[in-house]
Amino acid sequence: MEKKTLIRPTGLPDSASVPVVTPIMPAVAYASATPDTLDDQYEGRVHGYTYSREGHPNAAVLAARIDAMEGARGGIATGSGMAAVTAALMGILSSGDHVVGGDQLYGRSLRLMNEDLPRLGIETSLADPTSVTAVKAALRPNTRMVLIEVVSNPTLRIADLDGIADLCNSRGILLAVDNTFTTPSAIRPFDHGADIVIHSVTKLMAGHSDVMLGYVVAKNPALNERLTTFAVTTGLTPSPFDCWLAERGLLTFDLRFEKAQANAEKLAGFLATRPEVKHVLYPTRPDHPDKARAQSLLQGVGCNMVSFVLNGGREQANAFTTGAAGLAFAPTLGDVGTTISHPASSSHRALSAENRAAIGITEGFFRISVGLEDSDALLAEFAKGLDAV
């Protein structure tokens, strides 16, 4: 036997059978046979990986699965949901363009709109996406894109997606939809006239709070190419291990979504019966402000998020989370376990109390990401929290 071997590669043992799960491919670089082969790869005559920031099998497998869920082609996995938002905005817009964002976008998306894009010469405005009139009023001659979320965070208002899509399509404006909260189980934005779809895969899609990832896709192949090139150039692309974990999470997505939604519906009903609760927000409830749109757009799918307002202020809010100590008080969503978020002390803490109140976020406001627990055990834990108020 040779005492010394060359460093790499010795190849894998032969096997007539294949693994039943996607292997993890952590390689940063891929070896090609000859410079001619490399030419063929770069010039698209054959497919082959070169360097993992440019693409790797685990990212491709994950993106293809999400493509299938969204009815899309050629989407890319990114290192976080914000990387996907960044690619959509900065990869497509140029200095002098104008973009309109929903006024209740995810906090960091709002920050991009309010701070980073203007610094780069991209004009921004915010508008209420539940009103197509408000979005129309915000348009300018140089408006190139509108970015909305279908269900707003944390007030769970439903955007007028169809109205905004008609408006954008009639004016040649790109419509980008962040489908994180709703997921393809509730709505596929391409079916409603969107041009770009974005996900924080970190949330329901991966589903276990152990991976940070995103996804973005454009309907137009040339735009998609541009998104991909921008993500590769700026290093927004993800690690193989994260993609592998997310692919595993996606295998149970449908089951998780169904159970979380059933739990959410029950929880919303339960909270509404409690005297400590002033108000419950859940898209399929008869008292939801956008109930009709929730029904027509999401077709009765209420998703896994429930928000509610406690009677009282910070003291009652503290008592509730202490009483419901079996649930994680943590600012994320889409985990297998229920998580509780208090926007006034987390996502919306940068706003003044008056500005928070203007969008209905008081000290008693809680947003719940409902998980997969046994529903009786879940309601019992909420009852403990409310009893403590």
Per CB under 6 A, residues contacting ligand PLP are 80-82, 85, 106, 149, 153, 178, 180-181, 200, 202, 212, 214
CB closer to ligand PLP out of 52 and 80: 80
Point out the residue whose Cβ comes nearest to ligand PLP.
81
Which residues, including other chains, have CB under 8 Å from residue 94's CB and lie 6 or more apart? 122
CB closer to ligand PLP out of 178 and 247: 178
CA 388 to centroid of chain Cα atoms: 33
Cα separation, 149 vs 159, in Å, equals: 7
Task: List the catalytic residues.
Answer: 53, 106, 178, 203
Angle between helices 375-387 and 314-323 (to 10 degrees): 140
CB of 18 to ligand PLP, least distance (A): 32
CB closer to ligand PLP out of 181 and 257: 181
Angle between helices 57-70 and 240-250 (to 10 degrees): 30
CB closer to ligand PLP out of 80 and 261: 80
CB closer to ligand PLP out of 149 and 363: 149
* Residue owning tokens 């910070």: 314
CB of 381 to ligand PLP, least distance (A): 23
Check if the beta carbon of residue 288 is closer than 8 Å to that of residue 245: no
CB closer to ligand PLP out of 200 and 224: 200
CB of 178 to ligand PLP, least distance (A): 5
CB of 179 to ligand PLP, least distance (A): 8
CB of 85 to ligand PLP, least distance (A): 6
Cα separation, 231 vs 52, in Å, equals: 12
CB closer to ligand PLP out of 89 and 378: 89
Check if the beta carbon of residue 231 is closer than 8 Å to that of residue 342: no
Give the count of beta carbons closer than 10 Å to the beta carbon of residue 264: 25
Give the count of beta carbons closer than 10 Å to the beta carbon of residue 274: 18
Phi first, then psi: what are they for 307, rounded to 5°?
-115, 150
CB of 81 to ligand PLP, least distance (A): 2
CB of 65 to ligand PLP, least distance (A): 17
Task: Label residue 87 exposed, middle or buried (CB < 10 Å: 0-12, 13-18, 19+).
Answer: buried
CB closer to ligand PLP out of 149 and 335: 149
CA 121 to centroid of chain Cα atoms: 26
3-state class (DSSP) for residue 227: helix
Tokens of 283: 């898209």
Which residues, including other chains, have CB under 8 Å from residue 96's CB and lie 6 or more apart? 121, 122, 123, 142
| CA neighbor of 77 nearest in space, from 200, 221, 251 | 200
Helices (H), the chain: 35-42, 57-70, 81-90, 107-111, 117-119, 132-138, 161-171, 183-186, 221-233, 240-250, 253-272, 291-298, 314-323, 353-358, 375-387
Check if the beta carbon of residue 217 is closer than 8 Å to that of residue 177: no
CB of 266 to ligand PLP, least distance (A): 23
